[in-house]
Structure 1
């Protein structure tokens, strides 16, 4: 449901594009400096227009996108994907980070069932509990 207006609030757009689950989370991210518009910090009420470039940080992930359409309403995920275009190097960096996390998870030793008495004592000795 693209909007024909010239500008839409950045927090509304981030929510409509499904980068954040609620508008409040989008507002907090913009206010907290996690979202940059054209390499500068903005307020949540700042107007967004097609062609603007956004850098969005969510935890370890970073999205670098270009706004292609505006919307004030949250639609389906397929509709949300039409509102922006992500840069290829941003996609590659996120996939590389995902693969790195997957390798780290597989390399970590996994516990085998419930700890026995000796393992519990060792854990208490190490943690001080």
Structure 2
């Protein structure tokens, strides 16, 4: 089975086109080699996939015939992603809040409009 179809079948991408684009961008590796979307996947391969700033590692257990329900995905793959990848994602979420809290810093477009309306009402 093609790598783009496999990633679509085990629900890492919503469409095959998205999976194919990820392969073309170099975000998908099979056994630490960047692959094209047409590369075949075999049982025992280790897939490294970068998605949403997380490096997922997947071991192929079996090849599905077609797209699966979410409950059946674990039969066909083993998730080897370290927990530190998910913890780093949480840290990124908190770091964004640190840089600019709501209502501080440069005014937004909405803020500027409300300031302008306030000034115009006083005059």
Q: Is the 2:54–2:89 contact (alpha carbons within 8 Å) kept by the matching residues of 1?
A: no
Aligned residues: CA RMSD: 2.2
Per-residue deviation, residues 65-84 of structure 1 (Å, max 9, x unmatched): 11111114112111123221
After TM superposition, give the deviation of residue 105 of structure 1 in Å. 4.1
Work out which of the residue numbers 66, 72, 75 in structure 2 matches 1:73: 66
Q: Is the 2:53–2:89 contact (alpha carbons within 8 Å) kept by the matching residues of 1?
A: no
Per-residue deviation, residues 62-115 of structure 1 (Å, max 9, x unmatched): 10111111114112111123221122xx33122211220232244341238x63
Greater RCO (Cα-Cα under 8 Å, separation 6 or more): 1
In the alignment, what sits opposite 1:21? 14
Gaps of 5+ in 1: 1-7, 119-129
Q: Secondary structure at the match of 1:48?
A: coil
Which structure would you say has the larger Rg? 2
Alignment of structure 1 residues 49-68 onto 2, 5 Å: 49-68=42-61
Question: Taking structure 2 as the reference length, what is the TM-score of the superposition?
Answer: 0.76
